[in-house]
Amino acid sequence: GQQVMQIPQYQHVQEGEDFTTYCNSSTTLSNIQWYKQRPGGHPVFLIQLVKSGEVKKQKRLTFQFGEAKKNSSLHITATQTTDVGTYFCAGEGDSNYQLIWGAGTKLIIKP
Amino acid sequence: NAGVTQTPKFQVLKTGQSMTLQCAQDMNHEYMSWYRQDPGMGLRLIHYSVGAGITDQGEVPNGYNVSRSTTEDFPLRLLSAAPSQTSVYFCASSYPWGPQHFGDGTRLSIL
């Protein structure tokens, strides 16, 4: 079945360093969504990418959707303590309504 | 605006007991889903619904039942609780192909 692989599982950074997480799908996606989950909280929607090669920015966050619509990335510039949490990608296929979730990348800020 | 409301927030059950997790949304969303999230893991889809009267199985449906008699409500029933069902359960709703809005979750422990 359709799978979305997300790497890395964890990333430790010093505050002020950059952070990137990557998602790869086994099949072409109609769109990909990104969510953030704070410890003890629920996933919160960040952004949705629909077009091939699309790049969107939200302040220090940059989201990309690959040309083949099978991969995506989230890059955070100059991390802050408020960025701590787990970032999930979730891909939607063409055939039915089922979001397939990556396992998440946990961002840990080193003191 | 309440969004997605899940009850209860916490529950402890004994093996073999049954219970219903409640989920209600006030955004008139057609799509609703139930996920489980195990420690350090991503979200796994249990059941979903694309409208009142329509439900379908997700990735891990065994041991769970759902019904969707109204647009607003989407209860999840555990038929005979097992320790393997200890998890955090999230309900989500959305418009077709749109971002998902999550409830705060139900933390369920099965002894």
Tens of pLDDT, residue by residue over A30-84, are: 999 999 999 999 999 999 999 999 999 999 999 999 999 999 999 999 999 999 9
Determine the residue type at B81: A
Residue A82 dihedral angles phi and psi, to the nearest 5°? -70, -10
Cα–chain center distance at B89: 6
Enumerate the β-bridge partners of residue A85. A107
All residues of chain B having their beta carbon less than 8 Å from the beta carbon of residue A90 are 43, 100
Per-residue model confidence (pLDDT) at position A69:
95
For residue B82, the distance in angstroms to the closest alpha carbon of chain A comes to 23
Instruction: Return the ∠ at Cα B92 (arms to A36 and A95), rounded to 5°.
Output: 95
Q: What would the pLDDT profile of B59-108 be if each residue is shown by its tens digit?
A: 899 999 999 999 999 999 999 999 999 999 999 999 988 899 999 999 99
- Residues of chain A with pLDDT > 70, as a percent, come to 96
End-to-end CA distance of chain B: 36
Nearest to A43, CA basis, from B50, B82, B33, B104 = B104
How far is Cα A78 from Cα A60, in angstroms, rounded to an integer?
7
Instruction: Return the ∠ at Cα B24 (arms to B22 and B30), rounded to 5°.
Output: 125
What residues contact residue A106 under an 8 Å CB cut-off, 6+ apart? A9, A10, A11, A85, A86
Q: Is A94's pLDDT higher than 70?
A: no
Closest CB from B42, B90, B97 relative to A103 = B42
**8 Å CB contact of A101 and B42:** yes
Closest CB from B48, B50, B102 relative to A43 = B102
| Mean pLDDT, residues A80-103 taken together | 88
Chain A touched by B34 (CB under 8 Å): no
Q: Is B111's pLDDT higher than 70?
A: yes
Nearest to B15, CA basis, from B107, B109, B98, B104 = B109
Q: Which DSSP state fits B83?
A: G
Per-residue model confidence (pLDDT) at position A3:
86
All residues of chain A having their beta carbon less than 8 Å from the beta carbon of residue B42 are 6, 88, 101-104
Substitution target from A35, A101, A108 for chain B, most B beta carbons within 10 A: A101
All residues of chain A having their beta carbon less than 8 Å from the beta carbon of residue B98 are 48
All residues of chain A having their beta carbon less than 8 Å from the beta carbon of residue B103 are 42
Q: Is A97's pLDDT higher than 80?
A: no
Cis peptide before A43 (omega within 30 of 0): no
